[in-house]
């Protein structure tokens, strides 16, 4: 849990329709449910990618600069607060629930 997920793990198909065989036979309500689940998956994957940029680019860059004696007046802990913990939480949620239970199951069963 909380390990850095490879970028490939966060790649999604363009639409949930690519994952479900016979999607044209779903009721309107079922389609709306699928859209809601897909929006949740897409939003979470996008959020994790953005958190990765914040922690791996901005935070690490600042810390490296500070090791070189630059920008030492910037309080990294105050600036980035609990973002690393939030990132770990969301990666854990993705790795333990969203990817295996929702996404991979749909890819495997096509239903």
Domain ranges of the chain: 13-109
Q: Looking at per-residue confidence, does 22 or 5 come out higher?
A: 22
pLDDT at 108: 92
Q: What is the mean pLDDT of residues 16-30?
A: 95
pLDDT of residue 5: 59
What is the CB neighbour count within 10 angstroms for residue 32? 11
Which residue do the tokens 């990132």 mark? 87
pLDDT of residue 1: 42
pLDDT of residue 56: 95
**pLDDT given at position 25:** 95
pLDDT tens for each residue of 51-110: 999 999 999 999 999 999 999 999 999 999 999 999 999 999 999 999 998 999 999 998
Query: Is residue 70 helix, strand or coil?
Result: coil
Cβ-proximal residues to 55 (8 Å cutoff; 6+ apart), any chain = 80, 83, 84, 87
């Amino acid at each position: 849990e909380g390990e850095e997920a490879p970028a490939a793990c966060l790649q999604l198909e363009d639409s949930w329709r690519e994952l479900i065989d016979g999607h044209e036979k779903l009721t309107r309500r079922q389609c709306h449910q699928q859209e809601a689940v897909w929006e949740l998956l897409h939003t979470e994957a996008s959020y994790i990618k953005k958190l990765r940029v914040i922690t791996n680019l901005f935070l690490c860059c600042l810390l490296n600069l500070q090791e070189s004696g630059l920008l030492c007046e910037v309080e990294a802990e105050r600036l980035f607060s609990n973002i690393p913990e939030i990132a770990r939480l969301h990666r854990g949620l993705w790795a333990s629930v969203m990817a295996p239970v929702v996404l991979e199951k749909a890819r495997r069963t096509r239903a």
